[in-house]
Amino acid sequence: MSFVDIILKKKEGLPLTDEEIRMFAMGAATGSVPDYQLSALLMAICFQGMDARETTTLTMEMMKSGDQMDLSGIDGVCVDKHSTGGVGDTTTLVLVPLVAACGGHVAKLSGRGLGHTGGTLDKLESVPGCRVDLSEEQFIEQVRKIGCAVSGQTQNLCPADKALYAIRDVTGTVGCSPLIASSIISKKLASGAGAIVLDVKTGNGALMPTVEESVQLAKAMVDIGRKAGKPVYALVTGMDQPLGTHVGNALEVKEAIEILSGRATGDLLEISLDLGSFMLVACGQVSTVEEGKKRMREAIESGAGLRKLEEMLKAQGATADVCRDVTLLPQAPVLVPVPATRDGYIVSMDTKAIGYCTQHMGAGRAKSTDRIDPAVGLVMQVRLGDHVRTGDTLCMLHLRDASQAEPAIRAMQEAVCIGDEAPEKRPLVSAFVSAEETVYTKGYGPK
């Protein structure tokens, strides 16, 4: 069968065989199938979908397309966490050291920011000297020795996914549930994770804007994990405003340090505790999420979480003691407030627009080859439901050059909507999904 036949078959909405999916994955990994044919099949999948068997097969074939990491030399269950992407989403830098400080082993492979979302590797590289290009041997040894490591994936880990993701990013085929699920879980399985906790975002700043779509994606990934013999838990969490108050690479590192120091609270802390508690359950350190949250709060109060972050940064080459002095992080020379244009309540935020605003300031990338400025970004001064008066500061811009101020001010004033009545407060977590059940927060669920 030719690859054109496979494209036509999926175009008609017919399921692909395991052998056809294998040809798709290996063609992407080896370059034997041209990009234009891969693009055509990706678009057909976006329109026609994939059933559970097809999605699982694609995941396993992408996993087997390259190297697979062996973490068996590390005692206990290595747990990994993945977010589907958001703005001000700094949970990795908070919960990885916290989980490790509570006795867990966290082997975390992360990515870079692209578009409106930030990337953990870029955030870590804003710490002077910090390396994110650990070899497989260095990565495993660091997890074995100190309990945690965060690094980029090796060159030959899931090459099929690398090739397909690059095409999806430029062909409008990113927001497709089976393609997202197979991309995420293939990398996690190839990285050797013994258990996986997923943060599936929902809202206007997420890949999946509705709770229903986000739960569907979560179920797909949990089901693939079950079939692969790995425990996978997923939380569906809100992205209708930046999760943390700081958006931008060094700024987000600073906020993570403030949280681990016990000097800051808020949504970022709460979601980190939620995710981290499931990670501790998954790796067998605690029996309940309540116990996990208690242990993590104690790690913050005792300073153990911050010390573990410091230990991890130093193990990865950091030369500056940023955990004790955040002014050692890169700092933007120009600070400009964004004023509210009227009295009222913060009724909504265009989270994606906020992410793109910081990208245009230099904190993110429009394409993978763009360079980023680690110092720039913004710090939100308001949350949904807050009351403001004309002239109050909505956020503080951290700029490299004053000439960037006017367009950024306009963009943020358009992104933060002020109305006459306070909006209904929504819970941070909309649903929990495991292999056994899906539990919705009150107010959500099938209609």
Q: Mind listing the pLDDT tens digit for each residue in 262-304?
A: 999 999 999 999 999 999 999 999 999 999 999 999 999 999 9
Which amino acid appears at position 231 of this protein? P
Mean pLDDT of the chain: 94
- The CATH number that domain 78-156+167-324+430-440 falls under is 3.40.1030.10
Overall average pLDDT of the 122-139 stretch: 95
Classified by CATH at the fold level, domain 3-49 comes out as 1.20.970
Is 183 noted as a catalytic residue in this protein?
yes
331-419 is classed CATH 3.40.630.30: no
Is 254 noted as a catalytic residue in this protein?
no
The predicted model scores a pTM of 0.92
Per-residue pLDDT tens digits for 194-227: 999 999 999 999 888 999 999 999 999 999 999 9
Instruction: Determine which one of 80, 122, 161, 373 is catalytic.
Output: 161
Give the whole-number percent of the chain exceeding pLDDT 70.
Answer: 99
Would you kindly state where each structural domain of the chain is located, as residue ranges? 3-49, 78-156+167-324+430-440, 331-419
SS3 of the chain: CCHHHHHHHHHCCCCCCHHHHHHHHHHHHHCCCCHHHHHHHHHHHHHHCCCHHHHHHHHHHHHCCCECCCCCCCCCCEEEEEECCCCCCCHHHHHHHHHHHCCCEEEEEECCCECCECCHHHHHHCCCCCCCCCCHHHHHHHHHHHCEEEEECCCCECHHHHHHHHHHHHHCCCCCHHHHHHHHHHHHHHCCCCEEEEEEEECCCCCECCHHHHHHHHHHHHHHHHHCCCCEEEEEEECCCCCCCEECHHHHHHHHHHHHCCCCCCHHHHHHHHHHHHHHHHCCCCCCHHHHHHHHHHHHHHCHHHHHHHHHHHHCCCCCCCCCCHHHCCCCCEEEEEECCCCEEEEEECHHHHHHHHHHHHHCCCCCCCCCCCCCEEEECCCCCCEECCCCEEEEEEECCHHHHHHHHHHHHHHEEEECCCCCCCCCEEEEECCCCEEECCCCCCC
Overall average pLDDT of the 383-406 stretch: 97
pLDDT of res. 447: 55
Instruction: Determine which one of 82, 188, 293, 295 is catalytic.
Output: 82
How far is residue 416 from each of residues 117, 246, 252, 360, measured CA to CA in Å?
A: 18, 15, 20, 17
Is 81 noted as a catalytic residue in this protein?
no
pLDDT of res. 367: 76
Is 161 noted as a catalytic residue in this protein?
yes
Q: Do domains 3-49 and 78-156+167-324+430-440 have the same CATH topology?
A: no
Instruction: Determine which one of 9, 162, 168, 308 is catalytic.
Output: 168
What are the tokens at 165? 């993701």
Is 168 noted as a catalytic residue in this protein?
yes
Instruction: Determine which one of 187, 230, 295, 398 is catalytic.
Output: 187
Per-residue pLDDT tens digits for 339-379: 999 999 999 999 999 999 999 999 988 777 788 999 999 99
